[in-house]
Structure 1
Amino acid sequence: MALDKEWVITFNTSIEDTQSNKEAIYVTDETNTKIGTDVSIEEETITVTPAQNYESSHSYTLHIQESIMATSGKTIEQSISMPFTTKEVNPFSAGEWTRDVQHNGASLKITNVKDASFDFKIAAAAGGNAGLIEDTAMIKNGKATFDDGDGCTVTFSPKDNAISVETTSSCYVYGGSGVYFSGEYTKGDTSKETEPFVDMELFTSEENKTFKALVGEQYDLFKETFQLIYDEEVIDDFGGKAYSGMVRGLGGSMEGIVMNGDNGEIYAAILGTSSDGKSGILYYTTDKDYTNNIPKTIQSWRESMYIDTQLHYMNGDKEQAAYFDEEFVKQAKNGSLKDMKLGIGATKQEVIEAEGTDYEEEYYTGAKHMFYPEGYSYAYVDSNKDQAIQAVMYNIKDKGLTATDIENLLGKPDSEGENMMTGTEYVLIYEFDTGYELHVTTSTVERSSELNDLLLKPQS
């Protein structure tokens, strides 16, 4: 029987249109509870309609009491009860629904809808982890159920413009760590724009605008990265608040940190790739005193990740950022320094052909060097027959960098200390898996002094 079934009862005599007569005709449900109906009386005809549609696949009873009185003053001979059952109606329709939970979003797609079943696919995520349940649900009593036979049961309950999904605990096997499928799914795409750094009270709305302008294209990456959020201790003298964030399952590839100093300055770093190809830790700040060096708090966070990745000063000196990049590391690993035309293994004659004859030769640290006016030199052993290049050196004193700066740019060195070859310098040594090592020396034995030279040579 239809869910909006209208009963029309015709008598052989006119019925009084009174409230008592209307109350003598009613409908009860399976628990014998009266449900709302609209009753109208017009001469010999009484019409009964549900105030709201009946439930699908439910049993009801229409009651006509013997107290109903005709206009003649007579009543009917006996009460009448008429049981009826509504038909099974599929309340589900094909379409897509969305569960909008930040970093734990999910989608529900329903297809192939039939009278008693439909096909479904629930795709859910928790950070970098994902999950999927895809099968057929059976419809009964206005709900739909999927049971995999191994303890996972998914129940679908329709609501206004939404579907509520409930799952048993055994459904966890269909997803990675932190993935769940239950929740309320709303028709269409219901994702909302959020401002997590305002929500966590790190920034005011105005400060967040400054932060957004500071990091530019990376703002969305910062938002996406802060799924799991941790309160970081600020160990810098300027104080303030700091939070680090990461995506579940993507530690070491989606991590970041944001600081708001008591000095009113913003400091932030994120693992990512910029539009101009810089890949690694992208560092941003509004503090002019920290454009070419990072706060202690961010350095501590960086070391805690246990990954060796390059740091880029996105608001720092353009020349530094341009020289110390991935291309620099790539060339150093292959035995040459960026901006030099040749590297270790070339011959003196090949250097002359490539670089020209405008050089000066002199002995330095046990080898003869060909010093070119651009600030770099090629070292070879004069006694070797082919005069092959044994090392290359580049003077970087004019870049104004310190040992701390180069450590931030290239990561922690494999070793460091006073240069035992000269006794007048401090040296940081980076060893590459290609058999070469890079010596970065300072102008004095003090670590804090400006950097002087880069020396690349085979490992001892």
Structure 2
Amino acid sequence: MKKMVMILSLMGTLLLATACSEQATKETEKDNEQVESEKAETDTSAVIDDETAEEIPGDVEYVEAELPDKPEYNQIFSIFLDDQMEESFKKLVGEDLDIFRVTFQQITPVPTDDESVYAFHGYMPGLEGVAEGVVIFDDKGKMWAATSEGENVNFYSNSGDVNQHHPIIEDWRMSFFSGSPVVYKGQ
């Protein structure tokens, strides 16, 4: 009889331990679900912006913005400072203006040592190294521009000597299109 009581006691302990283990497992699963839910609600993961190398929080809401029909001068949508400068550029590049419209879908400023010189690099997203261009102008009205077109690099300038490339354009050309023939256009 003593053996039977001992076996029953052991079985009771085992059943109690199993029940406690199952309850603990259920509570752990519930806690894990709650942690995952809270983590999803407060996701602060970040992405690094390629251009600025700054952190962009994961909870940023992106909104779609429409570009204006006409550039707003001194705003993000235009590189030219006024109507006259824009008209001078259109005259310089002539019928090739559409090439610049395509290659300047994404625009980034290029640092210069001279505060009177403005330089911009443009490219078509996803086609960097294929559809690109550079536009440079100074506050005296001189302009230099280059864009890729097929196998060629088109070069434009109103600065006098069309064979005289601006150093920024030459650096860009050597970096991305060193083997491409240069086609001199513009004045």
User: Cα RMSD between the aligned structures?
Assistant: 3.0
* 1:62-89, Cα deviation, whole Å (9 max, x unpaired): xxxxxxxxxxxxxxxxxxxxxxxxxxxx
User: How far is the alpha carbon of 1:262 from its aligned partner?
Assistant: 3.0
Higher relative contact order (CA 8 A, sep 6+): 2
The correspondence for 2:167, drawn from 275, 282, 296, is 296
Q: Secondary structure at the match of 2:109?
A: strand
In 2: Cα distance, 1:262 partner to 1:191 partner? 26
Gaps of 5+ in 2: 1-61
Residue aligning to 1:249: 126
The correspondence for 1:283, drawn from 148, 155, 170, is 155
Contact kept in structure 2, 1:243 and 1:257, CA below 8 Å? yes
Kindly tell me the number of residue pairs found equivalent between the two proteins. Answer: 123
User: How far is the alpha carbon of 1:224 from its aligned partner?
Assistant: 2.0
Gaps of 5+ in 1: 1-181, 185-189, 274-278, 317-460
Residue aligning to 2:184: 313
**Letter aligned with residue 97 of structure 2:** Y
Higher Rg of the two aligned structures? 1
Contact kept in structure 2, 1:225 and 1:256, CA below 8 Å? yes
Kindly report structure 1 stretches of 4+ aligned residues shifted beyond 6 Å: none
User: How far is the alpha carbon of 1:225 from its aligned partner?
Assistant: 1.2
Residue aligning to 2:7: none
For 1:404-443, what aligned pairs fall within 5 Å after superposition? none
* 1:90-126, Cα deviation, whole Å (9 max, x unpaired): xxxxxxxxxxxxxxxxxxxxxxxxxxxxxxxxxxxxx
**Letter aligned with residue 287 of structure 1:** S
Residue aligning to 1:225: 103
In 2: Cα distance, 1:304 partner to 1:196 partner? 32
TM-score calculated relative to the size of structure 1: 0.24
Identity of aligned residues (%): 27
More strand by share: 1
Contact kept in structure 1, 2:133 and 2:147, CA below 8 Å? yes
For 1:101-250, what aligned pairs fall within 5 Å after superposition? 193-195=69-71, 199-234=77-112, 239-250=116-127
Distance 1:222 1:211, change over 3 A: same
In 1: Cα distance, 2:63 partner to 2:115 partner? 44
**Letter aligned with residue 223 of structure 1:** R
* 1:27-76, Cα deviation, whole Å (9 max, x unpaired): xxxxxxxxxxxxxxxxxxxxxxxxxxxxxxxxxxxxxxxxxxxxxxxxxx
TM-score calculated relative to the size of structure 2: 0.55
User: How far is the alpha carbon of 1:252 from its aligned partner?
Assistant: 1.9
Residue aligning to 1:272: 149
Distance 1:197 1:272, change over 3 A: farther
User: How far is the alpha carbon of 1:297 from its aligned partner?
Assistant: 1.2
User: How far is the alpha carbon of 1:313 from its aligned partner?
Assistant: 1.4
Residue aligning to 2:3: none
